[in-house]
Amino acid sequence: MRRTIILIIIFLVGLGSSFLLGEGEEDNPIRLFIKAKTSYSLSNYDEAIKAYEQILSKCLESGNLYYNLGNAYFKKGQLGRAILNYKRARFLIPRDSDLMANYHFALSLVKQNFSQVNKGLVNKIIDGYGQKLTLDEMCIIILLLYVGLIIIIILSFYFTKLKKYIIFITPVFVLLILLNIMTLLSAVKQIERAAVIIEKEVDSKFEPFDSATTYFRLFEGAEVFVLEEKSEWCKIERADGKIGWISRSALEKIYP
């Protein structure tokens, strides 16, 4: 219910904009939203997907929209596109319990023919912390910590008692600022390079040619990093660190 109310508010804003721009009735965001919800409830997932994507094409992006679109793709049996849109939603509503439950369930259905690399403690802390925050929230936290540190340093010049503690307080603030900066950079890297396999299965080659030797195989829903793009090929890195070339059409970036 809360999710629906939030979406309606978003679309009411879009509705007002559509009147100002003279937008047709069929393209009206609120009508598209109602159409999408109705189509989904009637198990007409193709129409629901079409309507949600039309709304997103009008720059009315929201985590709830991506979540609903991911659900529609999941119901249609397109696991890769479902995970893709769940990941997009995670950057906007990272603490949504329904989203995380559906996302992890979808991930559990992905075929894996390799073992995950065991990340170091620092990377685990950064990833775990970053998954709870949006990019805007990370930026705000960094700004507040920086301002707080400056204020404490300034106050230490006027309050003698505070000077005794400044040597302990400063490293803590600096450490927190650095942790948040590293988390922000990791999230930006995810946005810029992360992609999801959308085909049922695809062979990764040693070189960007159809005739090249196959190195390994990836399955629908697998998450990869795009390292390089060359014509119709993408150089990708698998979660275990293996690198190969696959067709550009076999994947879609989180944010193209």
- Following DSSP, what letter does each residue of 172-188 receive, concatenated? HHHHHHHHHHHHHHHHH
Q: Point out the domain boundary residue: 108, 136, 171.
A: 108
Q: Kindly state whether residues 171 and 241 are assigned to the same domain.
A: no
- Helix boundaries (H) for the chain: 2-20, 29-41, 45-57, 63-76, 79-90, 97-108, 121-130, 135-156, 160-193
Collect all residues with Cβ–Cβ distance below 8 Å to 193 and sequence separation of at least 6: 225, 226, 227, 253
Q: Print pLDDT tens along the chain (256 aa).
A: 555 555 555 555 444 444 434 445 567 888 888 999 999 999 999 999 999 999 998 888 899 999 999 999 999 999 999 999 999 999 999 999 999 999 999 999 998 866 666 667 777 777 788 888 899 999 999 999 999 999 988 888 888 777 778 888 889 999 999 999 988 998 888 888 999 999 999 999 999 999 999 999 999 999 999 999 998 999 999 988 899 999 999 999 998 7
Q: How far apart are CA 143 and CA 145, in angstroms?
A: 6
pLDDT at 41: 92
Q: Is residue 98 part of a domain?
A: yes
Q: Tell me whether residue 65 is in a domain.
A: yes
Q: Are strands 243-247 and 251-253 parallel, antiparallel or unpaired?
A: unpaired
pLDDT at 24: 53
Q: Number of folded domains in the chain?
A: 3
Domain that residue 151 falls in = 121-192
The answer to whether residue 161 sits within a structural domain is yes
Considering the domain architecture, whether residues 97 and 145 belong to the same structural domain is answered as: no
Same domain, 17 and 92: yes
47 and 125 inside one domain: no
Residues 75 and 150 in one domain: no
Residue 85 · residue 48 · CB < 8 Å: no
Q: Is 20 exposed, middle or buried (0-12, 13-18, 19+ CB in 10 A)?
A: exposed
134 and 176 within one domain = yes
Compute φ and ψ for 153, nearest 5 degrees: -60, -45
Domain-embedded: residue 204 = yes
Report yes or no on 163 lying in a domain.
yes
Any domain includes 173: yes
Examine residue 114 and state whether it is found in any structural domain, yes or no: no
Nearest partner of 246 among 234, 237, 256, 238, judged by Cα? 234
Same domain, 69 and 9: yes
Residue matched to tokens 């620092």 = 122
Q: CATH number, domain at 52?
A: 1.25.40.10
